[in-house]
Amino acid sequence: MDFKSDSKAASEIIGEMLLLVIVVVLAGVLSSNIASLIPSLRDTVYVEMLAVSENGSVNITHIGGEPLNLAEVS
């Protein structure tokens, strides 16, 4: 086999390009995982409730916060 004198330079460029691709892919995966950990505030309802248990029954009183539609409570 006859190697040219610049074959080493080509392999260094290919190696650097592969490292760059790996870094970009890892940065994308990491950023998407971090973004999924941030909670969504749009779907969360904030209420303040008081629950009292008496004689085998539980009485729940809405004290404050957003109004609740009983048909949507599960």
Q: Which residues contact 62 (CB under 8 A, 6 or more apart)?
A: 47, 48, 49, 68
Q: Which amino acid is at 34?
A: I
Tens of pLDDT, residue by residue over 28-73, are 999 988 888 887 666 667 788 889 998 888 888 888 888 877 787 7
The pLDDT, as a whole number, for residue 30 is 94
Rounded Cα distance between 49 and 73, Å, is: 13
Q: Judge contact between 49 and 60, C-beta under 8 A.
A: yes
The pTM for the full model equals 0.44
